[in-house]
């Protein structure tokens, strides 16, 4: 929602263009990240570290990418139940950044990433506000049936 401001509420103010921009930007960043990882892998090949390390690096990036994708995708639909767990996943998400970028890209094809979650929260708060507002209508001091019931009479 960082790039959308409040345009996601009414889909106005360039919402469509922003969604396209976010989709293209996240896909371009994922492709650039793949090139960076490819250069890093070529550096390992040049260093001739061995087949085991090569395989280990590929597996680590694949697993971290899958975990980062899932954590990012879940973050678009619900708030984290355990913030400490999210904090512990930060390093895994940094290693698997390509998975996070791909999740961001895929979500931006259907909506602004996180829009569904924010929309549900927004609609809930609006309905709660309306409910509270309608419960307060009228003059609160005139709510008794006896007028001055329970109060001191005015001085004359």
pLDDT score, position 146: 53
Q: What is the pLDDT of residues 15-66, one digit of tens each?
A: 778 888 889 999 999 999 999 999 988 998 888 888 898 899 999 999 999 9
What DSSP line would sit under 78-147, residue for residue?
Answer: S--S-HHHHHHTHHHHHHTHHHHHHHHHHHHTTSSTTHHHHHHHHHHHHHHHHHHHHHT-S-GGG-SSSS
Asked whether the beta carbons of 34 and 98 are under 8 A apart, the reply is: yes
Asked if residues 98 and 38 have their Cβ atoms less than 8 Å apart, the reply is no
Question: pLDDT value at position 4?
Answer: 62
**Phi, psi at 78, each rounded to 5°:** -155, 155
Q: Is the pLDDT of residue 7 over 70?
A: no
pLDDT at site 123:
84
Tell me, what's the pLDDT at 142? Answer: 54
pLDDT value of residue 83: 80
pTM: 0.71
**Model pLDDT, residue 152:** 66
Q: What is the pLDDT of residues 94-152, one digit of tens each?
A: 999 999 999 989 988 888 777 778 778 888 888 888 888 776 666 666 555 555 555 66
pLDDT for 102 equals 94
């Amino acid at each position: 929602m960082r790039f959308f401001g409040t345009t996601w509420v009414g889909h106005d103010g360039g919402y469509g263009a922003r969604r396209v921009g976010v989709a293209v930007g996240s896909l371009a960043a994922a492709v650039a990240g793949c090139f960076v990882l490819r250069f890093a892998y070529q550096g390992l090949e040049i260093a001739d570290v061995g087949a085991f390390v090569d395989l280990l690096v590929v597996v680590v990036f694949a697993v971290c990418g899958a975990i980062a994708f899932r954590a990012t995708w879940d973050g678009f639909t619900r708030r984290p139940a355990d913030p400490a767990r999210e904090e512990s996943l930060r390093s895994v998400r940094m290693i698997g950044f390509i998975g996070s970028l791909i999740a961001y890209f895929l979500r931006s094809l259907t909506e602004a990433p996180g829009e569904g979650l924010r929309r549900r929260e927004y609609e809930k708060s609006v309905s709660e506000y309306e409910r509270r507002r309608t419960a307060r209508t009228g003059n609160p001091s005139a709510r008794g049936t006896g007028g001055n019931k329970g109060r001191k009479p005015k001085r004359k």
